[in-house]
Structure 1
Amino acid sequence: MTTMSLPLVSTCSVDGCSYNHDHDCHAGAITVTGSSSACGTYVHTDAKGGADSTATVGACHRTDCVHNSALECTAHDVEVGPGADVADCLTFSAR
């Protein structure tokens, strides 16, 4: 999988994240972490950061997700929002 084919973060509804600009994630890439599908890239601060482009999913640690293949996300795109944690991958779907 090349960086050009990594899934985009189609929307982020997490308020207060440095990378969230008008519900569009501007991190270079996010990491979805372990047991709760949390966005490991979430940073709570008023300072705005990130790139000019929309984030992709760089890595996914949820091996029990149907979209996970070799720790990479194969979904077309993902949504990030409040879930079990303040910022979770809402596209997660158990195998």
Structure 2
Amino acid sequence: MATVNLDLTPIHQCSVEGCTFNASTACHAPAITVGDHGANHCATFLGIPTKHKPTTDGHVGACQLGDCVHNDDLTCHAARIDVGTAESGETRCLTYSAA
């Protein structure tokens, strides 16, 4: 069984429909990656049918958005984050705030 560092930032809510890690707006990926090549989106999004039961609350394992006020050494230090769908249709960290 995988363990999660409880010092990681928790995911308060995920409103992205169609992600295998989303169960009733609760992310249950043990740790997600936010950002990919500077783009603000959830790089852990996985759009396949759920084949497992939710077992844990999601956390931010890594953040690649170096220009976010919550990012320190690629680690998110926000109290918690929300993930959702932007107007463009991309899955994004809604807590992101430019430094």
The TM-score, its normalising length taken from structure 2, stands at 0.86
Corresponding residue of 1:55 = 58
In the TM superposition, what is the alpha-carbon distance from 1:53 to its structure 2 partner? 0.9
Q: Which runs of 5+ in 2 are unaligned?
A: none
Equivalent pair of 1:30/1:59 in contact (CA under 8 Å) = yes
Among all aligned residue pairs of Structure 1 and Structure 2, give the percentage whose two residues are the same amino acid. 38
Q: Which runs of 5+ in 1 are unaligned?
A: none
CA RMSD of aligned residues (A): 1.7
CA gap of 1:50–1:29, structure 2 versus 1, over 3 A, is: farther
- Structure number with greater Rg is 2
Equivalent pair of 1:9/1:78 in contact (CA under 8 Å) = yes
- Comparing 3-12 with 84-93, greater Cα deviation is found at 84-93
CA distance in 2, matches of 1:18, 1:86: 16
Moved over 6 A (4+): none
Greater strand share, structure number: 2
The TM-score, its normalising length taken from structure 1, stands at 0.90
Aligned residue pairs: how many? 94
